[in-house]
Amino acid sequence: MPAALNEVKRRITSTQKTAQITTAMQMVSTSKLSQIQHHTGDYQIYASKVESVVTHLAASHLLESTDVSAAGDGKADDVPVSSLITQRPVKKTGLLVITSDRGLVGSYNSNIIKSTNDFIKSHGKTDDDYVVLAVGGNGADFYKKRGLNVAYEYRGVSDVPTFVEVREIVKTVTAMYNNGVFDELYVCYSHFVNRLTSRFRATRMLPITGDTIAESKPDGDETQQLQAKQIEITPQYELEPSAEEILQVVLPQYAQSLVYGAILDGKTSEHASSATAMQTASENAHDLIDSLSLQFNRARQSAITTEITEITGGQAALE
């Protein structure tokens, strides 16, 4: 077999092996997507209840009028509650950027980083006015190379993140806010819409005020549905033993739910992007195999025709 045909055959075999790998990775990502969507559905029930309670407490102006330091030690679940609602002049803005640790996820990471950079530019500040807190290796590596202040990084988030992981992140972030590392915090992540669509979000998390609670609500139809539900059922609360002690329990849970929900949402978007990227890679591999097979068959047919012509010509010469 001619060397050119051997090279084409080698490329076909190599591409077939690549297609097998990308197809297997697509199946794995699809399985992870199904798992996290099931987990997220259960979590959203809890998160919506916590958000509903905090929303109504904010509507009653308890966040502005309550002194949480007056009751107990001002902490709940190891999170300093007083720091969650402390407002001060904004000199530094913290950005909790959620990306993936690995590649092969299509444009997932690049879209988040680009949108975060656009968010920074839109606020008319310089890079020195921001502190980056990176959840995921891609974001951490990018901003380190760019020279931004990466004050915190967390790598190795599970494929289906646990609440315990997020509690440690919230405790660290809250301590940094309390120590004045930054004066406000935005959570930047990719919101999962469907298998093919995701949308960047930058949600203000700290300090917790009535405005930040309103900003954290979903957009569009989801907001209308939520408002409709609130109109149908307006909860009434009797505060016992006191508003201060209730906020000590509810506010840390709300902060944790915001970060945990963002990480779950981002991971869901990551798995969907990975599944789509691997599906596209597999389809491109099969298209390349078809093209190479056609090229191989044509070259082989040409070689056979040439051999037949040479045999026929040699036989005619002998006659």
Rounded to two decimals, what is the model's pTM?
0.78
Residue 146 lies in a domain: yes
pLDDT number for residue 233: 44
pLDDT number for residue 71: 43
Each of the 319 residues of the chain gets a pLDDT tens digit; together they read: 567 778 888 888 999 999 999 999 989 988 888 888 887 877 877 777 777 777 766 666 555 555 545 444 444 455 556 667 777 888 888 999 999 988 888 889 999 999 999 998 888 777 788 899 999 999 999 999 988 888 899 998 888 888 888 888 888 888 888 888 888 889 999 988 888 888 999 888 888 776 667 666 655 445 444 444 444 444 555 666 666 677 777 777 788 888 888 889 889 999 999 999 999 999 999 999 999 888 888 887 877 787 777 777 777 777 6
CA distance 291 to 24: 22
CA distance 180 to 178: 5
Residue 169 lies in a domain: yes
Give me the number of domains the chain comprises: 1
Residue 319 lies in a domain: no
- The encoded tokens of residue 155 equal 């790598």
Residue 265 lies in a domain: yes
Residue 229 lies in a domain: no
CATH of the domain at 246: 3.40.1380.10
Residue 71 lies in a domain: yes
Residue 41 lies in a domain: yes
Three-class secondary structure of residue 150 per DSSP = strand
- The encoded tokens of residue 27 equal 């199946």
CA distance 18 to 44: 38
Domain region containing 159 = 29-223+239-276
Three-class secondary structure of residue 179 per DSSP = coil
Residue 13 lies in a domain: no
